[in-house]
């Protein structure tokens, strides 16, 4: 019997709890991928789930890696229209590629732009009507590019993330980040990854198979959920409009 769609991923993240409108509220989710196994499909999945049609959830997306058109195109393949979600006030897109909130401009400290970005996020959340009845997700699509924008200062990025962490308690927000584990070779880089693992309530590692590339398996996921005090490990295959997760050895299409 096949494990269909992303059921295993949802179960590992706690998204299978039907009684909860957004089980990730108040939690930090850190995704770590590799150059050869992108974890962007998890961002797409969580963005889609956070904008469930039967909820009042709101997502604030901080984009360093791709423009709005990219995410709109990906989500349309999965039956979601980000333009309508944006127009309805449920999706806010901060396009850092266009420097709406510049980071590291001349005349400010390298972390000054990140402080301004945090202020813009806080202002957006505070302006939401009936905020106590909404579940807000803050999603950052590439921490490594945020570090580049902060003139290479991982300390400024960590400070920014700790600021955002306060929003999980102040507004019960969720914070979801994506980073690339194998681009760090220095001791400072290893320290950054350790700090992220400490900060996260849920750590998702996206890795290639130990046996190498395979046509029907694109990689493996390890989900460490501190709230459930357990880790889950399974394989995945990314398809055009979905991701299929399954235990090793199970049959697939």
* Cα radius of gyration rounded to whole Å, the chain: 18
pLDDT attached to residue 88: 92
pLDDT attached to residue 35: 83
Three-state SS at 118:
helix
Q: Is the pLDDT of residue 38 over 80?
A: yes
pLDDT digits (tens, 9 = 90+) for 82-98: 999 999 999 999 999 87
pLDDT digits (tens, 9 = 90+) for 174-201: 999 999 987 766 665 678 888 898 999 9
> Average pLDDT, whole number, for the chain?
85
Confidence of residue 252 (pLDDT cuts 50, 70, 90): low
Read off the tokens for 239. Answer: 């398809």
Pairing of strands 243-246, 230-238: antiparallel
Q: How far is CA 67 from CA 73, 101, 141, in A?
A: 10, 15, 11
Nearest to 182 by CA among 203, 205, 148: 205
Q: Is the pLDDT of residue 53 over 80?
A: no
pLDDT digits (tens, 9 = 90+) for 209-245: 887 767 788 899 999 988 777 789 999 988 877 888 9
Selected residue with higher pLDDT from 248 and 137: 137
């Amino acid at each position: 019997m096949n494990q269909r769609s992303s059921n295993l991923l949802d179960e590992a993240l706690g998204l299978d709890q039907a009684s909860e409108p957004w089980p990730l509220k108040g939690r930090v989710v850190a995704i770590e991928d590799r150059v050869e196994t992108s974890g962007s499909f998890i961002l797409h999945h969580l963005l889609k789930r956070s904008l469930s049609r039967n909820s009042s959830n709101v997502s604030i997306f901080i984009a360093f890696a791709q423009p709005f058109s990219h995410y709109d195109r990906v989500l349309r393949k999965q039956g979601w229209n980000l333009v309508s979600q944006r127009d309805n006030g449920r999706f806010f897109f901060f396009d850092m590629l266009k420097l709406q909130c510049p980071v590291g401009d001349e005349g400010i400290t390298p972390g000054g732009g990140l402080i301004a970005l945090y202020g813009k996020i806080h202002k957006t959340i505070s302006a939401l009507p009936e905020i106590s009845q909404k579940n807000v997700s803050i999603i950052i699509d590439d921490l490594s590019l945020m570090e580049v924008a902060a003139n290479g200062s991982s300390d400024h990025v960590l400070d920014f993330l700790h600021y955002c962490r306060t929003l999980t308690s102040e507004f019960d927000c969720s914070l979801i980040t994506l980073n690339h584990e194998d681009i760090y070779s220095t001791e400072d880089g290893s320290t950054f990854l350790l700090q992220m693992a400490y900060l996260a309530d849920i750590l998702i590692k996206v890795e290639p198979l130990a046996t190498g590339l395979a046509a029907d398996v694109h990689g493996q996921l390890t989900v460490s959920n501190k709230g459930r005090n357990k880790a889950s490990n399974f394989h995945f295959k990314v398809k055009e409009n979905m991701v299929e997760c399954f235990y090793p050895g199970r049959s697939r299409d």
